[in-house]
Amino acid sequence: MGKATKYISKVPNDNGVIDWTDEENTIWHELITRQLDCIKGKACDEYWLGLDKLDLPRDRVPQLDEVSAVLTKETGWQCYPVPALIGFEEFFRLLSERKFPVATFIRSREEFDYLQEPDIFHEIFGHCPLLTNKSFADFTQAYGQMGLNASKEQRVFLARLYWFTVEFGLLKTDQGYKIYGGGILSSPAETEYAINGIEAQRDAFDMLTVLRTPYRIDIMQPVYYCLSELTDLDKMREYSVEDVMDFIKQAQTMGLLEAKFQQKAS
């Protein structure tokens, strides 16, 4: 959102099907095979349940209608094809309508291990399994509604709530730390680091602290915020828009916490 990209999303054909090349299907196969192995014992139970429901193909890129059919049945969500990058206004609007934006391109082999913009593997494998879970699905819609009611300045703070939950959230369970954030679940390096990295800081989730925490998209996260269980998202969803905006105003007044990383050179 808001920056250039070399990727171009694919457009469905007259039958509503996206034509993926053999190489793109091979990349999907290699990505999902590798990541399924990486997240064993690390992803939360709700993710595995959703992944089982989606029954994603291993040998080809899934069609969005295949995924949407399951999501609609489970929680009323659907996948919505978008360009590689979209603006915040459209992003929030789609979420508020229970439409999950999916950029219909897959990373090149040159960026197999990491790319900054979210591709179809990140969106489908990382996020869609948990969109079968009511708590996660309802929170994601509520987040979209929050964003629609926020000013440009408030959205900068609100972005951190999404980052430290939907993208990089952890659960602290009786079985240890478990991942629910799609940014972690779709990255082999971040999966290992978030759970086992000795330098990673894992703190209890606190709304005001989260809103004040700086982050960078191109490094391993120095800090992760942990919920006790996924249903904790229900409590955040139940905040009124006024409650959330009050948290944001407090965060704006208090200012950001000291960054736990070096600032990126401009």
Q: Which residues are catalytic, by number? A: 122, 127, 167, 186
29 is in an annotated binding site: no
The structure tokens listed for 208 are 């005001």
Distances (CA, A) of 15 to 12, 41, 56, 254: 7, 39, 21, 53
Contact 136, 180 (CB under 8 A): yes
Buried b / exposed e along 183-215 (16+ C-beta atoms within 10 A): bbbbbbebbebbbebeebeeeebebebbbbbeb
Task: Assess contact for 227 and 171: CB atoms under 8 A.
Answer: yes
Q: Does the CA dihedral 255-258-260-264 come out positive or negative?
A: positive
| Binding region | 122, 127, 167
Please enumerate, by residue number, every residue annotated as part of a binding site for Fe cation. 122, 127, 167
